[in-house]
Amino acid sequence: MTTDRIMALLAFAAFAAFAGIVGFSVKRVDLLIVLAIAVALVVYDLWLQLGPKRR
């Protein structure tokens, strides 16, 4: 289970770095909004998959 969390966080860090590079190199407000929404959806999915389990 720990390996799953580490790999998920590593994948999120890679995605966030890629989105950050694209966002800061293009510097368009509409693109930054879309990237922020995409990162927020990834964080939400990580929370659902790896967060505390409800019983």
Angle, nearest 10°, between helix axes 29-50 and 2-26?
Answer: 180
* 55: pLDDT strictly greater than 60: no
Model confidence band, residue 54 (pLDDT cutoffs 50, 70, 90): low
Which of 44, 25, 50, 22 is CA-nearest to residue 35? 22
Which of 9, 6, 8, 31 is CA-nearest to residue 19? 31
Average per-residue pLDDT for the chain? 90
Q: How far apart are CA 2 and CA 8, in angstroms?
A: 10
The mean per-residue pLDDT over the stretch 14-31 comes to: 94
Q: What percent of the chain has pLDDT over 70?
A: 95
